[in-house]
Each structure stands twice: as C-alpha cells, then as structure tokens.
Amino acid sequence: MNNSSNYIASPCVGICMLEKINDITSCTGCKRTPYEIRNWTILSDKEREDIMNELKNRKINI
C-alpha cells in the first residue's frame, strides 16, 4: 500500500457488476474499467487523481 499522505482511496462503493456499453466495459458502481480496478493499488497518485476526475464525467446506465 502507498504510504504517501496524498494517497487516493479506491472509489469502490460495493456495487460491483461489470457492464459493457458501446464496447466499453465498466463497473456499474464506481464506473471504473477493469484495468483501473485491477491496477488501482499500483497506479501513481497522479494516475488515480486523473481517474477520479474523469469518473465525475462518466455516465451511469441504470
């Protein structure tokens, strides 16, 4: 685990189901892709921050 003071925690909300829409697979709960979910703990702080900012604009398909 990253011990830096600016570590960004996972945005997981415990509703984990992958869904494919328009050739893009993402989690219906947190909106991350399988790559982002799988690699969250090894991504840099900058990469996690970029993903968090992008998640705000991802659509949820309910």
Could you give the 3-state DSSP secondary structure of residue 35? helix
Residue, of 57 and 5, whose pLDDT is higher: 57
In degrees, to the nearest 5, what angle opens at C-alpha 28 toward C-alphas 54 and 19? 105
Q: What does residue 28 show for φ and ψ, rounded to 5 degrees?
A: -70, -20
Give tens-digit pLDDT for 13-46.
999 999 998 899 999 999 999 999 999 999 999 9
What is the rounded distance in angstroms from the CA atom of residue 23 to the CA atom of residue 50?
Answer: 22
Q: What is the pTM of this model?
A: 0.80
What pLDDT shows up at residue 58? Answer: 84
What pLDDT shows up at residue 5? Answer: 55
What pLDDT shows up at residue 42? Answer: 96
What pLDDT shows up at residue 28? Answer: 92
Can you tell me the mean pLDDT for 50-58?
Answer: 93
Q: Distances in Å between the alpha carbon of 7 and those of 24, 29, 50, 58?
A: 27, 21, 13, 22
